[in-house]
Structure 1
Amino acid sequence: MADTAAHSPRTGEHEGIVAALEALVSNTAKGKHHGDDERLGMSAAGNPYTPAPVAKQHHHHWWSKVAAVEGLSQSRLDDLFADHHLGNYTAIRGSEQRIFESMPVAVRIGMHLLFFSSKKTSLLRYSSVEDVLEKMSIKQGKLYDDASDPAAVLEHIKSFIETYQIDTSELLEPDPIKYPSMNEFFFRKIRPDARPLAEQGNAAVVSSAADCRLTVFDDVEAATRVWIKGKHFSIRHLLGDTSLADRCFPPGSSLAIFRLAPADYHRFHHPVGPAVCGPTRHEAGEYYTVNPQAVNADFDVFTCNRRDVLNLTWTPRAGVDVPVAFVAIGALLVGSIGWSKASQGSSVARGEEAGWFAYGGSTCIAVFPPAAKVTWDADLRANSLAGVETMVRVGDRIGISEA
């Protein structure tokens, strides 16, 4: 992280920046962030993944919209923003390739602006960071549930498909006109054959819960050393239940962190099975972005955000039952977390749909106790310890239990 004090607005800049950024927030809340401004980092061929220098040029162009602030030069604007939080490098599994993942305007606002300074010196006229994020999330949620203007919904969906290069041939319903609201498209279903389950007959396998950017860690100490920098992150705080954490997830418990980006298929699936669902705990919280630039900073994203905690009892082999905690975490512009099959007492299979997220990117975390003896696949573990996410899809193998 750069020294934020060195990149704070100087005297005379603050008011102009406030006005410009509030206009961006207003446009975002109105749903105007999937047009040309959204295509940050796109190549001429429409690929959203481009080298960092190209994305940086687009970044400069986007920020030029606030360059009219009196006394604020383009070079100063660059000094303030251009070298911060441009996006994330993500590994492509099975190759040496890494891609540069650009971010939507809403997420940039959440990170560049709302997390750039303390609540007291926020660049927006709100009493707190949490207040503006909650207002944006609630307002955007209503807009994305609105089915009153089918033509506008269809236009927005088509723009979303084009912006994020969505492969509609994978969808259970490929025709965008069939979706009555933007949220219905956002948590769209895919064809069952579009995500084959790895080693389907092997109950000891752990598979990816989502189309996501994945990190895996053998214990919390490794996760906090490399990836999660929130000062208060712990299994106790994540689960919101000290008794459960102490009883079932002692030191040495391992983690899989599944981060969904806005373009991803936004239904999540059970990463283990056969398993039996226990109770689900609902934790109220904030609406922080779960982008790595926030996770890698001193923001307690995972333990402060609104989240649901599902308790599972997994049987990786006959006669062995181990607890697993599966946490669905809401984020910036995620209005709700829905559950498809997670009712207490129900039996679930690995790869079976568990639930969905409404609009926005978000994250699931699976927690395994030492007794599960989960060994993560070597490539995923190596990337994670290097601080790099790996792109995986629902059903891909990510590890195995040796219990």
Structure 2
Amino acid sequence: MSSAQSEDQAQDHEAMASALEHLVSSGPLHETDEQLQSGTSEHTAVTPGPISVQKHSKWWGRFFPDRFESTMDKLFASHHMGNYVAIRGQPEKKIFESMPIYVRVGMHLLFFKSKEQSFLRYKSVEDLLKTVSIRQGKVYDDESNPQAVLEHIQSFIRTYSINLDELQQPDPSQYPNFNSFFFRKLKPGARPIAEPENASVVSSCADCRLTVFSDVAEATKFWIKGEGFTLDRLIGDTNLADRCFPPGSSIAIFRLAPADYHRFHHSVGPAVCGPTRHIPGEYFTVNPQAVNADFDVFSENRRDVLTMNWNPKGDGGPSIPVAFVAIGAMLVGSIGWTNATQGSSIQRGDECGYYAYGGSTNILVFPPEAKIQWDQDLLDNSRKEIETMVRVGDRIGISNA
């Protein structure tokens, strides 16, 4: 990088820091109405940055001083717009996934350094992210203006090319609020379950971008770069982690983007659900650029941890513990559980829960005794630090226990 480029980058970072200071100190987001407004559907929290810039929807002008507008415009249009994701079954094909603009704000203003060096070290910033996340959830739960709700849903459908034919309710006007569309249900059979009679198969729990690793040490080498990440911190229970998920445990990371079907399903079965542990935390973005940085978003964020006992032989023999972690993120107001009651029996593919507005992440943890063998294409991509697009029910691995 030339000295001129370094100087430009330093100026960019200084401008972003100043913008963040203004955002935190003035707090306009705290004063924003919690009702959905008509005429704002083309520049919402789920609008990708390039689209927002092309439409000249400078929503950040509400928050930042005028003198920063040109800098923010340039940054949103040109810097780190997203990341590449592999398409399964097409080894040479990758798609570029542009980030929603709110996520990009979080990336640029918060994650270009470690937490200790960035503005995240100020509690006011963490409080702001939580406040904004909760408020945005209330906005998308609002039913007071049906026309505004319909506008936002229709804009979302256009922006992300949502296939209405696969929805249980394909009529956008029948959804009372934006969130009800966001965690929309699919028609029965829209996501076939791979090898349904084979209890040893592990399938994708979500429509998502997936990375898999044979052990946690491998995951921290190739993907999770935050130095503070450990299984006991992720699970929030050192005794459980030490007893059930020792070194050598396998891990799968399912990242949901805004366009994805936001209900998640059980990846294994038959299994019996254990308790769900609710862990309070922050609302940081779970985008790869944050996960790949020196910052531990997975064990800092608000999350729920469901433990299960899985019988991979399907014959009533010895069971294997599995941890299912649902992680909230920036602008994700809630994690809902629909089929995870302690003591209930589940099958692979059964619905498990849903996320209200936002993109988020599920993590599955298997102990060494599960002898999980991930499908080779997924493992190869993960070791190249590339996510793979998969859908609910797709086979992703198998237990050789």
Alignment TM class, shorter chain as reference: 0.7 to 0.9
Q: Confirm whether residue 87 of structure 1 aligns to residue 82 of structure 2.
A: yes
Query: 1:28 and 1:289, CA in 2 relative to 1: closer, same or farther beyond 3 A?
Result: farther
Cα distance in 2, alignment partners of residues 215 and 386 from structure 1:
10
Cross-structure match for 1:51: none
> 1:175-186, aligned counterparts within 5 Å?
175-186=171-182
Cα distance in 2, alignment partners of residues 24 and 105 from structure 1:
18
Cα distance in 1, alignment partners of residues 252 and 159 from structure 2:
29
Query: 1:16 and 1:393, CA in 2 relative to 1: closer, same or farther beyond 3 A?
Result: closer
Q: How many residues align?
A: 386
Pairwise CA distance, 1:163:
1.1
- Please say if residues 280 and 344 of structure 1, whose CA atoms lie closer than 8 Å, have aligned partners that are also in contact: yes
Deviations 1:35-69 (A, max 9, x none): 16835456xxxxxxxxxxxx9x9699979979995
> 1:117-156, aligned counterparts within 5 Å?
127-156=123-152
Cα distance in 2, alignment partners of residues 81 and 94 from structure 1:
32
Whichever residue aligns with residue 169 of structure 2, its letter is E
Cross-structure match for 1:7: 10
- Please say if residues 88 and 388 of structure 2, whose CA atoms lie closer than 8 Å, have aligned partners that are also in contact: yes
Greater mean deviation of Cα atoms: 379-388 or 143-152? 143-152
Pairwise CA distance, 1:9:
5.0
- Please say if residues 60 and 82 of structure 1, whose CA atoms lie closer than 8 Å, have aligned partners that are also in contact: no
Pairwise CA distance, 1:231:
1.7
Cα distance in 1, alignment partners of residues 162 and 66 from structure 2:
37
- Please say if residues 17 and 69 of structure 1, whose CA atoms lie closer than 8 Å, have aligned partners that are also in contact: no
Cross-structure match for 2:273: 277
Select the residue among 334, 341, 346 that pairs with 2:344: 346
Q: Secondary structure at the match of 1:160?
A: helix
TM-score under structure 1 length normalisation: 0.85
Q: Confirm whether residue 299 of structure 1 aligns to residue 295 of structure 2.
A: yes
Cross-structure match for 1:52: none
Deviations 1:214-269 (A, max 9, x none): 00001111111111111211110000000000000010000010000011000000
- Please say if residues 279 and 311 of structure 1, whose CA atoms lie closer than 8 Å, have aligned partners that are also in contact: yes
Whichever residue aligns with residue 338 of structure 1, its letter is G
Structure 2 spans left out of the alignment, 5+ residues: none
Whichever residue aligns with residue 366 of structure 1, its letter is L
Q: Secondary structure at the match of 1:316?
A: coil
Q: Secondary structure at the match of 1:289?
A: coil
Greater mean deviation of Cα atoms: 113-122 or 204-213? 113-122
> 1:202-241, aligned counterparts within 5 Å?
202-241=198-237
Deviations 1:100-155 (A, max 9, x none): 0011111111211233457798779x853211111101111111111111111111
- Identity percentage of aligned residues: 60
Query: 1:237 and 1:16, CA in 2 relative to 1: closer, same or farther beyond 3 A?
Result: closer
Cα distance in 1, alignment partners of residues 16 and 261 from structure 2:
41
Q: Secondary structure at the match of 2:298?
A: helix
Cross-structure match for 1:45: none
Cα distance in 2, alignment partners of residues 71 and 182 from structure 1:
31
Deviations 1:316-362 (A, max 9, x none): 00323110000000011111111011111100000000000010000
Select the residue among 381, 385, 392 that pairs with 2:390: 392
Cα distance in 2, alignment partners of residues 263 and 87 from structure 1:
14
Cα distance in 2, alignment partners of residues 161 and 399 from structure 1:
32
- Please say if residues 16 and 70 of structure 1, whose CA atoms lie closer than 8 Å, have aligned partners that are also in contact: no
Query: 1:342 and 1:11, CA in 2 relative to 1: closer, same or farther beyond 3 A?
Result: closer
Query: 1:67 and 1:109, CA in 2 relative to 1: closer, same or farther beyond 3 A?
Result: closer
Pairwise CA distance, 1:84:
4.0
Cross-structure match for 1:321: 319
Select the residue among 264, 267, 271 that pairs with 1:268: 264
- Please say if residues 254 and 374 of structure 1, whose CA atoms lie closer than 8 Å, have aligned partners that are also in contact: yes
Query: 1:112 and 1:16, CA in 2 relative to 1: closer, same or farther beyond 3 A?
Result: closer
Cα distance in 1, alignment partners of residues 109 and 397 from structure 2:
37
Cross-structure match for 2:164: 168
TM-score under structure 2 length normalisation: 0.86
Q: Secondary structure at the match of 2:311?
A: strand
Select the residue among 372, 375, 385 that pairs with 1:374: 372
Whichever residue aligns with residue 244 of structure 1, its letter is L
Query: 1:10 and 1:367, CA in 2 relative to 1: closer, same or farther beyond 3 A?
Result: closer
